[in-house]
Amino acid sequence: MADLHIVREHTLGLAKARKLAFKWAEQVEEEFAMPCTYTEGKHGDEVDFVRSGVKGQLLVSKDRFELHAELGFLLGAFKGKIEAEIVKNLDALLTPPTAAATGHVAEPKKRAVAKKI
């Protein structure tokens, strides 16, 4: 059996972290057909996921995401690839969209003009 342990620190606070974790759980369910159970707590949340060959939990707090997963024998052979995909997905959720990615371009700042009186 192979174990995964991934930690990502953030400064989102619990409310925003909760939204991202719920979005992550939806992606996991859709992309990997892996049922997730989301449990909200007062100081943090848990996302439990399980399917053939994998069982794990994402712990959500005001300042970090912590993922633990156990991979079965067959999936253990792909640990590196699975870990890289999870890291990529978590990092994509934690990285704010850039202006180029969203198509929004900030308006140029207007310069103040000094007038003599």
Q: What is the span of the domain harbouring residue 79?
A: 2-94
In the sheet where 44-51 sits, what is the strand order?
Answer: 2-9, 64-71, 54-61, 44-51, 36-39
The pLDDT of 83-93, averaged and rounded, is: 89
- Residue 45 belongs to some domain of the structure: yes
Residue 115 lies in a domain: no
CATH number of the domain that residue 56 is part of: 3.30.310
Local confidence band at 109 (pLDDT 50, 70, 90 cut-offs):
very low
Indicate if the alpha-carbon torsion angle 26, 37, 57, 11 is positive or negative: positive
The answer as to whether 31 is a domain residue is: yes
For residue 11, report the phi and psi dihedrals to the nearest 5 degrees: -125, 30
Full-model pTM = 0.77
- What is the tens place of the pLDDT at every residue in 34-78? 999 999 999 999 999 999 999 999 999 999 999 999 999 999 999
Within a domain: 66: yes
Residue 32 lies in a domain: yes
**Which tokens sit at 71?**
């991979």
Residue 37 lies in a domain: yes
In a domain? residue 108:
no
Q: For 96, left (φ over 0), alpha (ψ -120 to 50), or beta?
A: beta
What is the tally of structural domains in the chain?
A: 1
41 domain residue, yes or no: yes
Q: Which of 24, 43, 17 shows the shortest CA–CA distance to 90?
A: 24
